Amino acid sequence: MLTANNIMQQINTLTADIIKSGLCQKENFPSMKPKKNNIVEIGISHPEHSIFLKNIPYSEMYMELVKKEQYNLKMIDGALITLLYRFKGKNLISHRLSFFPAPNLEIFQNEPYMYINDELYTELTNNKKIVTVPLRFDFDSSEDVFIPIKHPRSHFTLGQYENCRIPVSSAISPYQFLKFIIDNFYYFSKSKLSYYLTPYNDKFISSIVDEEKKLIHICTPI
């Protein structure tokens, strides 16, 4: 069973791995904070959850996240990765795992010297066909919000669409999430950088219901 301490340790280790890989330009290591009702939150030191609730264009939200450093990792192409977990005792009650690509590459034009000789950055940004799409893996164990199919306990959201909730078979560990991001968005012709990630086999138990299994859904590793 994955505990709050396990999650904290995974995030710290994997953050260090990504720094070593050269894919990350800035990072904020997580902290573990006690909340009301015996809840423990694992995330960056001063999260501002209201940013995600504002009805503003994606580019504005992205720039606000950058300005206030509301991320665990800022990748070499400007993408932001955030991980937030909440536990009550030994039980996971929620998580929000987000990937926010840079809306465009203009934000780097003021500091081109940082990237001009960087092979990784060049390979990331040379493809002019790319359309950036934010994505998020959410989990919420509360029976108050759970509605089969409409609001699965664990779900995947694309593009900030309010009602996009693709069922996922279980909650996602930090290793599963970060490996998913690197394998799919940072695969290079000369190397596969997920090899830099310390592997973890720990998993959360299944949370998907039978009605959701009948739909197209995402199945986490068994």
pLDDT tens digits for the chain (222 residues)? 899 999 999 999 999 999 998 888 899 999 999 999 999 999 997 767 667 667 888 989 999 999 999 999 999 889 999 999 999 999 999 999 999 999 876 454 445 445 444 566 666 666 666 778 899 999 999 999 999 999 999 999 999 888 999 999 999 999 999 999 998 888 765 555 556 799 999 999 999 999 999 999 999 987
Q: How far apart are CA 97 and CA 86, in angstroms?
A: 12
- Paired sense of beta strands 39-43 and 154-158, if any: unpaired
Q: How far apart are CA 192 and CA 182, in angstroms?
A: 8
Q: How far apart are CA 160 and CA 96, in angstroms?
A: 13
For residue 54, CA distances in Å to 48, 57, 133 come to: 11, 9, 18
- Count how many residues are written for the chain: 222
Q: Measured in Å, how far apart are the chain's first and last C-alpha atoms?
A: 14
